[in-house]
Structure formats: C-alpha cells, structure tokens
Amino acid sequence: MPIIGRKSHTKDGQKIYIRIGESPPAIKDGKVQEGAFFIILGDDMGEKSIRLTDQEAIDLANRIITIYQLHVRMYRKLDKKTYEEYKQSHTANNEKIEHEIVKFLLKSGGQCTIEDIRESLSVKHADYLTHLEKEGVVKIKGNNVFLNFGERENENDINDKST
C-alpha cells in the first residue's frame, strides 16, 4: 500500500501518528477491483485502520479544503480586526499621552526639561516629545521643552513667506 502522507507527534513521551495510504484499483482474474484509501491511526500500543471508498475519500478531502479556505478568510478578517483595534487603542493612548504632556507643561509655565517629564510622567512620555515636536505642539532646544503657543505653520504660510 503506497503511503500518501504521514504525520507523527510525541505526546507525554508516547509517539502518536496518522498515516494515509491508498490501494489503487487493479485487475485481478479479469475483474476490476475497486481501489480504496486507508487512514491508519496508531501509537506505541498498536494501530487502527479505517477504509474509505474513493467517494468517501474525495468527500473528506473536499471538506478539509473548504474548511481550510474558511480558516484563511477568518484569519484575514481577524488580522484586519486586530489591527484596527490596535490602531484605535494606540491612537487613544497617544492622545492621552499628548494631553498629559500639555497639561504638565501648562502647570510648569509652558516649559520644563526632558528629565522633568521623564521623572514626573514616564519614559514613554519623554519619548513621545519628538513626535509632538514634529506636530508643532512643543519645541525642544537641547534638554528644554517649550510649549508652542503659536499656531502651526501650514503650506499657505510657508508660501507667503517665500514670496
């Protein structure tokens, strides 16, 4: 019997395996004998065999393929959903961090040091300062952080300055 596939696992020191084999159709004594597929389950204690007709084998294979395709679609949806949830929580968390930094700077008179933010709030808050500087919320000069009270420049302001 040719073996189509074999898979084995070791669980609690015991080997467990599944083997799928086939017995192809043949002609014996001038008559066609049906082929069959076999699923053999075994472990260290012995094995059991299940015989499948061609139709049963193809039905089982089609069911596995169909379920596999559903799994793949589900994984894609879960991946998108997980990413969206992460993005929403990450955005909300960043807004909270930004709010806490601005509130801290306002209480400090609009300026403080990076160490003050790191010690009073957290390292994550101090790391977020570079993002806030890119957004135009704060200015960082050396170790000092200043709240940017002026409006953020936009493209129209830049174009007006260049003319």
Backbone angles phi, psi at 78, to 5 degrees: -65, -40
- Residue range 8-44, pLDDT digits in tens: 998 888 899 999 999 888 888 888 888 899 999 999 8
| 138/92: higher pLDDT | 138
Task: Output DSSP code: residue 143.
Answer: T
Q: Rounded distance, CA 8 to CA 14, Å?
A: 10
- Residue range 144-156, pLDDT digits in tens: 888 887 644 443 4
Q: Is 0.85 surpassed by the pTM of this model?
A: no
Task: Output DSSP code: residue 150.
Answer: S
Is the pLDDT confidence value at 159 over 60? no
Model pLDDT, residue 128: 84
Model pLDDT, residue 153: 45
Which residue segments constitute the domains of the chain, with CATH numbers given?
1-52 (no CATH), 77-162 (1.10.10)
Model pLDDT, residue 155: 37
Q: Rounded distance, CA 131 to CA 68, Å?
A: 43
